[in-house]
Amino acid sequence: MRAVDGMSLQLMPGRTLALVGESGCGKTTAGKAMLQLLRPTAGSVQLDGVELTTRSASELRPLRAKMQMVFQDPFASLNPRLRIGEIIAEGMLALGTGGMGGSTGDRDIAARVGPLLEQVGLRADMVGRYPHEFSGGQRQRIAIARALAVHPQLLICDEPTSALDVSVQAQILNLLSDLQRDLKLAYLFITHNIAVVDYLAHDVAVMYLGRVVESGSADEVLRSPRHPYTQALLAAVPRVDGAMGEAPKLAGDMPSPANPPAGCHFHPRCPLADADCRRDYPAARRFGATQFVRCIKA
């Protein structure tokens, strides 16, 4: 089975690339493959021009601090038996980036962790508390502080707001946006919800069954989507005026990547599909200044 196939993405400092698609399309696999948490079977992943896929685990270790992941579930991703000061200091100590000389003294940790907590909108005096003493949104702030503790250049945020209440989601998106501005971070923002993309993405890649079917600047992709799948995702977003777009709503389920449909993988669900669509997987074609689309009828 190919969970991710033929994907090509580029991330830049200070910019956010949103990776969007339905659950099971391969977003998390792609993110983990970039970080070498999963080893891709083919292809290349480079960070600042350094090839990662050929490096051993020990060779990757010094590079790990440069790329961090924030996970969907802030309840599962924090060790309940550690105080948040210890949780945040863990990565610094493991990767040797804390400037603490390997010390685990309470005062040293507090000195480094306090400012980090404040940077993510928490209070420095919360350092001694346990994860269960925090709300979901606060826990996601802790997870972000833990990622920032090692001074990363790239943050892969895997559905970081999907488990949170809508009002809290906006606060976390605001925080990520502020941090990016202040720290020039590159984000890969993974989401199944195209509605949140407009808020913080500079670039968008839409994924369907392991492949990127449309990509480009957020402006071009969201304002003039050309792939029927992107159009369907956008049409499903409720609007303030209650109107729905003209594109048909998405029917049916995504097929299994273990047995993808012949030709364009989207053809069983595509309202425009005909015999031509069932022959070959469509090549990427360029539109506008930045947009690439894999649909023969785009």
Ligand X SMILES: Nc1ncnc2c1ncn2[C@@H]1O[C@H](COP(=O)(O)OP(=O)(O)O)[C@@H](O)[C@H]1O
- What residue ranges bind Mg ion (CB under 5 A)? 28
- Are 29 and 201 in contact by the 8 Å Cβ rule? The answer is no
- Should residue 270 be labelled a site residue for ligand SF4 when binding is judged by CB under 6 A? yes
Residue 90: how many CB atoms within 10 A of its CB? 16
Closest by Cα among 109, 74, 75, 77 to 90: 109
Cα gap 226→5, rounded to integer Å: 21
Instruction: Please select the residue that binds ligand X; options are 17, 18, 26, 146, rule is CB under 6 A.
Output: 26
Contacts of ligand X in 3-22 (CB under 6 A): 3, 21
Between 131 and 260, name the residue whose CB sits nearer to ligand X: 260
Between 91 and 160, name the residue whose CB sits nearer to ligand X: 160
Tell me the CA distances in angstroms from 292 to 9, 183, 221, 224, 239, one per residue in order: 12, 30, 9, 12, 26
Q: What one-character DSSP code corresponds to residue 190?
A: E
- Should residue 297 be labelled a site residue for ligand SF4 when binding is judged by CB under 6 A? yes
Which positions ≥6 away from 179 have C-beta within 8 Å? 119, 120, 144, 148, 185
Task: Point out which span in 38-46, 67-75, 233-241, 269-277 binds ligand SF4 (CB under 6 A).
Answer: 269-277
Instruction: Please select the residue that binds ligand SF4; options are 85, 152, 228, 260, rule is CB under 6 A.
Output: 228
- Should residue 260 be labelled a site residue for ligand X when binding is judged by CB under 6 A? no
Residue 17: how many CB atoms within 10 A of its CB? 20
- Should residue 46 be labelled a site residue for ligand X when binding is judged by CB under 6 A? no
Instruction: Please select the residue that binds ligand SF4; options are 154, 267, 291, 292, rule is CB under 6 A.
Output: 267
Site for ligand SF4, rule CB under 6 A: 227-228, 264, 266-267, 270, 272-273, 277, 282, 295-297
Site for ligand X, rule CB under 6 A: 3, 21, 23-29, 257
